[in-house]
Copies of this chain bind each other. A is one copy, B any other.
Amino acid sequence: MSREEAEKLASTLNYRHEDSTVIAVLQDINTKEVLMVGHMNREAVVKTLTTGYAHFWSLSRRKLWLKGETSGNFQIVEDVRIDCDSDAIVLKVKSVGPVCHTGNWSCFYRGYSDFIK
């Protein structure tokens, strides 16, 4: 997407969450599995749309990060969906490797049976 188009889309979002962000849900475009949830500020949205690689705003480290910059497991964005009040987006992605730092394909690898024993 061109910079102009990315800026246009980024301008329509409502960055009302922590540190002026929207919530971003990564979904595997093939399996439709939810892979992770993160936050994006305006800069992360523009970088994601112009490069095609998912970028996030880290709430804990308070910095922009390219998902995969250390692990190599980049998230290639194939489609973007925006919710009704423009404060959350779904990124449909192809992942080049596991999304989770634990090595699991998805961060949501635990079910309630893992907690109720």
Q: Write the residues of chain A forming the contact surface with B, with a CB cutoff of 8 angstroms.
A: 1, 5, 8-9, 12, 17-18, 23, 25, 27, 32-34, 36-37, 49, 79-85, 88-90, 100-102, 104, 107-112, 114-116
Given A17-B18, A25-B25, CB of A111 within 8 Å of CB of B37: no
A1 interface neighbour in B37, B111, B112, B114, Cβ under 8 Å? B112
Enumerate chain B residues within 8 angstroms of A101, measured Cβ to Cβ.
84
A83 interface neighbour in B33, B49, B108, Cβ under 8 Å? B108
A81 interface neighbour in B81, B85, B89, B108, Cβ under 8 Å? B108
Say whether chain A's binding surface is mostly helix, strand, loop, or mixed. mixed
Q: How far is the CA of A26 from the CA of B83 in the complex (A)?
A: 13
Q: How far is the CA of A115 from the CA of B1 in the complex (A)?
A: 12
Q: How far is the CA of A111 from the CA of B79 in the complex (A)?
A: 8
A84 touches B102 (CB 8 A): yes
Q: How far is the CA of A9 from the CA of B110 in the complex (A)?
A: 12
Q: What is the distance, in angstroms, from A75's C-beta to the closest C-beta of chain B?
A: 15
